[in-house]
Amino acid sequence: MLSRTADSVYWMSRYTERAENVARLLDVTYRMSLLPTTGVSGYWGAALSANGLDEAYQKKYGAFSAPNVVRYMVLDEDNPSSIRTCLRSARENAHAVRGAITSESWETLNATWLEMRKVTTSQLQGAALSEFFDWVKFRSHLSRGVTFGTSLRDEAFYFNRLGTFLERADNTARMLDVKYDPLAPEPSPGNEYYEWGALLRSVSAFEIYRRVYRDVITPERVAELLVLRADMPRSLRACMEEVHATLKIIANSQSAETERRAGELHAELHFGRIDTILASGLHEMLTDFLGRTADLGNRISADFLVP
């Protein structure tokens, strides 16, 4: 397929996935901020910092406050990762290749954007806020489902998958890292259970955790679930498995090194042990992981998308 088309399909799915994960991140932050604790604004600061957006935010809004962070991360068009920007970019990329994706896929993204344009700050408060985050998640589910249910299994489909899982790997790592952010409130024993619980819920893993471990929530197990479990669909390992497998399918004459690096990263997760990772530091491991997914992203662009 055309490189430019592949590029747009890839970014279309990355932005859709990112919008979903921003909604998930804000949702978990909102839940945590309801905990009876001091330094609530720290959660909001950490949510921004995990995405490298804290400085840009402070320049524009100053102190971290729930309404302003929500406005910045949902509606602000100056923010390249706000939900509004993501959904617009997803829609614009889809528009650029609407001949190469199914009508249903295009109409889903277009309708999502048309709805998003109507959202105002007044709808982003209290109970309506969680409702909005659910809406974003479900539009993303719908978009992915429509693509899965209607697309020919051609290269467009695989570039779409590649974008989805590379973005998801990045986002899950960031969500997990929020807890280790210097801006996050000091861990207090009373809140720990709820913080980990909120994190699990944000990646739809609370019920999965119970089914897998049938035991109390401990940080070690949460980390294992979100980093190493192959059967947890948002874990780093599950994402990298998809990325590696997809790269094998779309391989071309210059992509061997990219495929090798993805395979290496996948193998480390496949054969890694959580106690080894925790011993050398989860935060360090996540930082390394984010660097390597960014490297994969650059290599994918160079190999396939902008030759």
Binding site for another protein (CB under 8 A): 1-6, 88, 92, 95-100, 103, 106-107, 110-111, 114, 117, 155, 159, 250, 252-253, 304-305, 307
CB of 170 to another protein, least distance (A): 22
Q: Shortest distance, CB of residue 150 to another protein, whole angstroms?
A: 13
* Cα radius of gyration (the chain): 19
Least Cβ distance, residue 24 to another protein (angstroms): 26
Q: 110 with 81: CB under 8 angstroms?
A: no
Nearer to another protein by C-beta: 235 or 246?
246
How many angstroms from the chain centroid is the CA of residue 224?
Answer: 18
Nearest CB to another protein, comparing residues 44 and 159? 159
Q: How far is the CB of 92 from another protein (least distance, A)?
A: 8
> Of 51 and 89, which CB lies nearer to another protein in the complex structure?
89
CB of 118 to another protein, least distance (A): 12
User: What minimum distance in Å lies between the beta carbon of 144 and another protein?
Assistant: 19
Handedness of CA 221, 274, 54, 94 (dihedral sign): negative
155 vs 268, which CB is nearer to another protein? 155
Name which of 28, 19, 23, 10 is nearest 179 in CA terms.
28
Estimate to the nearest angstrom the gap between the alpha carbon of 150 and the chain centroid. 24
Q: Give the CA distances from residue 224 to residues 21, 220, 296, in Å, rounded to whole numbers and listed in that order.
A: 20, 6, 23
**Smaller CB distance to another protein: residue 14 or 229?**
14
d(CA 250, CA 71): 39
Report d(CA 291, CA 108) in Å as an integer.
32
Contact status, residue 89 vs residue 15, Cβ threshold 8 Å: yes
- CA 82 – CA 63 distance, rounded (Å): 18
Nearer to another protein, 268 or 303 (CB): 303
Q: How far is the CB of 130 from another protein (least distance, A)?
A: 26
CA distance 17 to 192: 28
- Amino acid at residue number 262: A
